[in-house]
Amino acid sequence: MDTSKEYIKMCEKAREIQELWFRENGNFVFWKATNSIKIITDTFNTDDLKIFIWLPRQDQLQDMVIEKWKKGIKEGNSYRGYPISFIEDFNQFIRCQIAQKYNCVNWSMEQLWLAFVMENLYNKTWNGEGWIK
- Asked whether residue 79 carries a pLDDT value surpassing 70, the answer given is no
State the DSSP code for 98.
Answer: I
Q: pLDDT by residue (tens digit) across 20-73? A: 987 788 999 999 989 999 998 887 766 666 789 999 999 999 989 887 777 665
Calculate the CA 127 to chain-centre distance.
Answer: 16
- What pLDDT, on the 0 to 100 scale, is given for residue 67? 76
How long, in residues, is the chain? 133
Q: Which residues contact 63 (CB under 8 A, 6 or more apart)?
A: none
- Cα separation of 67 and 96, whole Å? 24
- Asked whether residue 118 carries a pLDDT value surpassing 80, the answer given is yes
pTM attached to this predicted model: 0.85
- Cα separation of 113 and 56, whole Å? 10
The CA dihedral of 52, 58, 60, 66, to the nearest 10 degrees, is 150
Q: pLDDT by residue (tens digit) across 80-116? A: 555 677 778 888 888 776 666 766 768 899 999 999 9
Q: Is 54 helix (H, G, I), strand (E, B) or coil?
A: strand
Question: Hey, where are the domains in the chain?
Answer: 5-122
The values of phi and psi at residue 56, to 5°, are: -60, 140
Q: Is 44 helix (H, G, I), strand (E, B) or coil?
A: coil
Q: Which helix (H) or strand (E) holds 57?
A: none
- What pLDDT, on the 0 to 100 scale, is given for residue 72? 60
